[in-house]
Amino acid sequence: MGNHTANLAIQMAGSACLYHLCKLKRSRTLTAMETRRCVDRCLDAAEKHAKILQLQKNVWLTICNDHLLQTQNIDMYRTCAVALEAMVNTRDPSVSRMTIAIVSILAPKIPTTQSHALATNHRYVRYLIDVIRENIPASDAPNDNFNDFTIKFTLSALWNLT
């Protein structure tokens, strides 16, 4: 993936392979450096092909993994920044849910100066607030855990960024 960043077919196939490689049981066998490379290649693909929705889904499905997100050697700031860009650029609900969850987990782990840089981007904050607005009326429905979790993670992301 790193040698063929412009080749969409390689990025699509590679991101699918990384998803399977990074599934929970397998991800625990990866070294810290291998984990970092997996995340970096995913982020490279997300940045290079920002408008390709299926690739964005592959990338964020791969990264939205408890083991990967608890690894200390990944670039947490870059992961948050690329996730927020993907969230705003795709405006896809499934990408938004994954990227918001990632940001809510990683934002408290980055230095305040870096989280401040992300929080001052009005596009990100406005989008997060819009997600909350869209999900609040639906959260009154009985047994609507889906919207409750969306609101919870979105509020957490906003709180942790600001």
Q: What is the pLDDT of residues 19-39, one digit of tens each?
A: 888 886 787 888 889 999 999
Confidence band, pLDDT 50/70/90 cuts, at residue 145: low
Q: Which two tokens stand for residue 63?
A: 């990264």
pTM over 0.85: yes
Question: Structural domain boundaries of the chain?
Answer: 1-74, 93-162
Predicted local distance difference test score (pLDDT) of residue 13: 94
> What's the chain's length in residues?
162
Q: Are 80 and 103 in contact (CB under 8 A)?
A: yes
Percent of the chain scored above 70 by pLDDT? 93
Residue 72 predicted with pLDDT over 70: yes
Residue 85 predicted with pLDDT over 90: yes
Q: Are 96 and 87 in contact (CB under 8 A)?
A: yes
Q: Are 57 and 18 in contact (CB under 8 A)?
A: no
